[in-house]
Structure 1
């Protein structure tokens, strides 16, 4: 394997939502990693078909580009070595960087297109969204219609329910898969279990309970919430589930497809007004709008506030960060409008893709299938403390990921998983609705923009998308 690692600042790895920031720190006190070291990767391929078709790829090179977030490089280094061992004669040339989109963009423009791309959720570089607009990604539907390597079940039936059908994987809403899911991370409101136990706080179900808890927290010296002010897309783990609960999951699909009126329904306005109230009502940690992701996360971990919209990768990302004594990660659902409403859990999904102009697309497809093997799933859990977006992955990862990561998946017992991603924008469109949703949050929180103005800005954006598409 040949590997090139960018030395760009690690601080650049997480713009936008950082939903792909994962982690590589396995801190479980109950995990016997020495045992895992002896078992992961030794199953080899006697039970699968890898060896049978290895010859057709002999002497070929696979060029891959990997976003290096909080999951680190160890998993990728080892899975590449295992792939080369399983397919003798294949050489993998890997570029891995926290800014991989910026690294490979000029290469792609110059015609040096990678065979395989691993990108974080909500890619801040805009590379993947650009490739989608240009129809520059390969159709992967045949891979998911076909069997896995060590499980003959079609891959589409092995993936967590509800992911492949979304715009995250089908950006053109045409039934064809162009983006393959990587890991699956629950998102919501991260909190300190220890603090809640010490203060006898109850987790809020409704918005009324949420603000009542905030009032109590103020008396006790805590703010209710913070977020990464300069990376406001983090708030998606609060916004989209709350809107799904209030307006219905079908309306969320309308929002993802820029349907006019979907973002400003009466129930949606209640949610937007509640989010605005966090700031204007004095529930937001002072100075939040100027904080980056690590600063806001540290403030929350030091018990300056009760909640931060985030995902289970935060444990890994902040492994070495200061925290209050006894801090224990918890993850809770976004509030619902009224008791009895269905709660939803935003699920972050990082993605694999194969460029349409890849030199070795069939080898890239085989690598994708290889990544979905049990061996790969366990290795990812052990080396990166992460869980693949496969139905069996959570149990396969038990004992290999930290207790915190594993236990935060319990949020799915309290809410229904949902995946959100905006559909591909039409050619010539000059607006980016996702930016219009989140980039104004500072103004909303400080009262410079009302909830109504926020909704209207997004609706205007939807209208321009619709007009461009005509």
Structure 2
């Protein structure tokens, strides 16, 4: 049986408290608990009696999937898995890594606020796992790279050095956009806005009913990426977001980008932001939105599971739309969140970790993740495999892909020794913009200055 690090032990390791989020069981259907035939074939492959140490971020998807999939892997391969799982896993394992106790496998959320993964990328501390994706899956013998969603592996999310090699493996794929209450819109006869002008016009109608147009997780401004990057891609083109992700000077201050930044400022400056937003965390702002205090909140389809026990307006029904475009008919985009798996370069059991990764990409694992967590893996077949397990709300929010093209955004690796983090400059400025302490021009100047510093470091 696996050795699951308890809350008490984690406390003694890191002297920090943490709390978990529940999972989202979404169907009475049950995924078979037996190993697949292809997995049975690998049980005699020389891994028996080995130990695998894994570190898992526990977010809105909860722990149930991980507990079950680890049990199945242990049973199939005859190994022991020592799992640490926590909402603050980055803070927990950082001192362990410094002390030389490196996990064999890490699963980290898309917006790692601890900076652990970005630090490991900067220090070249992740293992090259290209061979896993060049090789076959455990069930489908085609190369794994052909089974992953198109356009994911070659982004900075998985290939941070732009060298054609994979260092981070995709986990789930979740649409991100503006979450809203379908019922509220139906009751008022409101149409979803496509352009910024329509967005603010709808905000004027909402004001008449005492409802704000917009809120966000004020003290976690990274959630604003659900709005910012798709809006920039629509206004300035997807190539501009690629340039931004590679710190190209001038990319964050083009005229089209400046229009987007000005519209974001207008949300607060013209009274469309829910009062008190800047001081709220993600669950507080999400709850207020679900109580019809605001029409929209930037988020992903995991919000339903994360807030499954939260109060909400009568008849609340999850919906999602895209970020607004500057002009009618402009291409709109849907930000896709891709959380990641990685194997540290210092892992003691890298081959077993690679086998665990392959095991996670099996149909059995994908269905279990849908059933226990309500999420969908970043595999081409995952949506079909998951349809009987995910909730109506998750499926409803996935309809946003009918409104715009999917895009994945991730900043490229920073030069070793870099003392600036452009992503922080982008999102830590949001509160100042919303409070009126910073203009869009100053926001852009701050980000551009960080790009210049990165360019100078890279020379």
Same fold (TM over 0.5): yes
Which residue is equivalent to 1:207?
Answer: 196
Looking at structure 2, the residues matched to 50 and 63 of structure 1 have their Cα atoms a distance apart, in angstroms, of 22
* Structure 1: unaligned runs, 5 residues or longer: 15-20
After superposition, the Cα gap between the structure-2 partners of 1:10 and 1:278, relative to the gap in structure 1 and judged at 3 Å, is farther
Query: Are 1:264 and 2:247 counterparts?
Result: no
Query: Are 1:156 and 2:156 counterparts?
Result: no
After superposition, the Cα gap between the structure-2 partners of 1:239 and 1:10, relative to the gap in structure 1 and judged at 3 Å, is farther
C-alpha deviation, 1:50, in angstroms:
4.5
SS at match of 2:44: helix
C-alpha deviation, 1:40, in angstroms:
2.7
Looking at structure 2, the residues matched to 10 and 343 of structure 1 have their Cα atoms a distance apart, in angstroms, of 42
CA contact (8 A) 1:223 1:283 kept: yes
C-alpha deviation, 1:335, in angstroms:
0.2
Query: Are 1:468 and 2:457 counterparts?
Result: yes
Looking at structure 1, the residues matched to 17 and 338 of structure 2 have their Cα atoms a distance apart, in angstroms, of 21
CA root-mean-square deviation? 1.6
Query: Are 1:24 and 2:23 counterparts?
Result: yes
2:290 paired residue among 284, 288, 301 = 301
After superposition, the Cα gap between the structure-2 partners of 1:202 and 1:289, relative to the gap in structure 1 and judged at 3 Å, is same
CA contact (8 A) 2:130 2:165 kept: yes
Looking at structure 2, the residues matched to 11 and 267 of structure 1 have their Cα atoms a distance apart, in angstroms, of 44
1:412 paired residue among 401, 406, 410 = 401
1:434-459 C-alpha deviation (Å, 9 max, x unpaired): 11101111111122111111111100
CA contact (8 A) 1:67 1:100 kept: yes
SS at match of 1:255: helix
C-alpha deviation, 1:221, in angstroms:
1.5
Which residue is equivalent to 1:452?
Answer: 441
CA contact (8 A) 1:186 1:411 kept: yes
The number of aligned residues is: 453
CA contact (8 A) 1:10 1:98 kept: no
Which residue is equivalent to 2:220?
Answer: 231
CA contact (8 A) 1:84 1:92 kept: yes
Which residue is equivalent to 2:205?
Answer: 216
Map 1:316-327 → 2, pairs under 5 A: 316-327=305-316
Looking at structure 1, the residues matched to 48 and 100 of structure 2 have their Cα atoms a distance apart, in angstroms, of 24
Looking at structure 1, the residues matched to 245 and 17 of structure 2 have their Cα atoms a distance apart, in angstroms, of 30
1:434 paired residue among 419, 423, 429 = 423
C-alpha deviation, 1:162, in angstroms:
1.2
CA contact (8 A) 1:180 1:351 kept: yes
CA contact (8 A) 1:13 1:69 kept: no
Looking at structure 2, the residues matched to 12 and 435 of structure 1 have their Cα atoms a distance apart, in angstroms, of 24
Which residue is equivalent to 2:184?
Answer: 195
CA contact (8 A) 1:312 1:405 kept: yes
C-alpha deviation, 1:402, in angstroms:
0.9
Which residue is equivalent to 1:45?
Answer: 36
